[in-house]
Structure 1
Amino acid sequence: MRRILMLSLLAAAACGGPSRGHLVVDWTFSGVSCANAGVANIAIDITNEVLTPSTFACRDAAVGVDLGSYLVGNYDLTITGYDAAGTVTHQQTQTLAVHGGENQYAIDVPAITGNANISWTFDGKNCATAGVDTVTIFVDPDARGVPGFNAGTVACSTLNTDGASVEALAPGSHTFAIFGWRTLSTGPQLLYRTHSPPSYLIEAGKTANVFVSAESPP
């Protein structure tokens, strides 16, 4: 279902004709419908235009919205998706060109992700004291620290900071674990691993400070 808007536009007093175009926007959220993406409400904003209404329930505008008539030109449109609790989960800003006649756009609105700044120690020691050269970061390992998603291997310490960042995490609770390695001529040697992965809440558009410890194997 696509909603049809009755708009109060700043340009509403202009006469119709070839200088105006009809604008329709269809949407998906991370490639699926608003319902499947967990989006309960959708807000629309167009720079220098006043939309009435400007927020729609997913159940009433599952496919998109008919924005009505606009003067020919370019418009900056922002679509924001909210979950049932009112938290922003998806957002996209895009410039749309309105030409005379019909203008229809399909916009896929990406999820807003969160980031984690991770710091670590090894049996309470820093990288240099523990003899750790590189660290492999795992996101969402199980309770025993068995690896989940491998987020990459990085230098243990960079610019005197023992830690690293992980970006583009889906909002929600995530666990974290690390492996600490020493580089030998025969190859990397595992010195430390996380035994009890901590859990942290990652919020959309925010960065969480995460501390992870690692201990001697097993």
Structure 2
Amino acid sequence: MIGKLKGQIDSFGDDRVLIDVGGVCYEAFCSSRTLRALPRVGESAVLHIETYVREDMIRLFGFATEAEKSWFHLLMTVQGVGSRVALAILGTASPSELLSAIALQDKTMIGRASGVGPKLAQRILSELKGKIPAIGAVDPSVLGLQSSIGEGTATGSAADAVSALVNLGYSSAQASGAIARIVARDGDDIATDKLIRLGLKELSA
């Protein structure tokens, strides 16, 4: 199986790239996020590869990072999510944004992807709740606060500060991430109004 490709970019398609490896061109299907991250035609590139073999075809899927590849695997475990939908989701949300969306049970973020309706978005959130790809660092303080907000069990100044920041126009992921970082650094006994001010400073940094 092919695990990684190192070569020169030969050409791009709407949902794929051709990489020339020693004179042999490999076609890899990628998310729009990965395609945007790749260099220009003729330049060197590296893609992490997932190889799918079926009776009637062999298809390569390419990813800019191992984290994206791991999320592809995880998304494909959800009933109704095929490779096209998984790539669409990865094109609209980064691995960290996906983690936040699942912790917060944020259907809106998942539903931005083409082919993901409200029912499928809810199924993805439900089936992947508590599941994290093995690769990549996860801040437990951020994840813990986001999970409690998603479950509706968050209380106290942190929850109030997150709510205030969301009302000011920040996403739940941005607000909860900022507040969780402050609480982890400065403790959880900060008054709500001060926590909001610190949150605004954190988000503007």
Q: TM (normalized to structure 1)?
A: 0.29
The structure whose RCO (Cα within 8 Å, separation 6+) is larger is 1
Larger helix fraction of residues? 2
Q: TM (normalized to structure 2)?
A: 0.30
Max radius of gyration: which structure? Answer: 1
Larger strand fraction of residues? 1
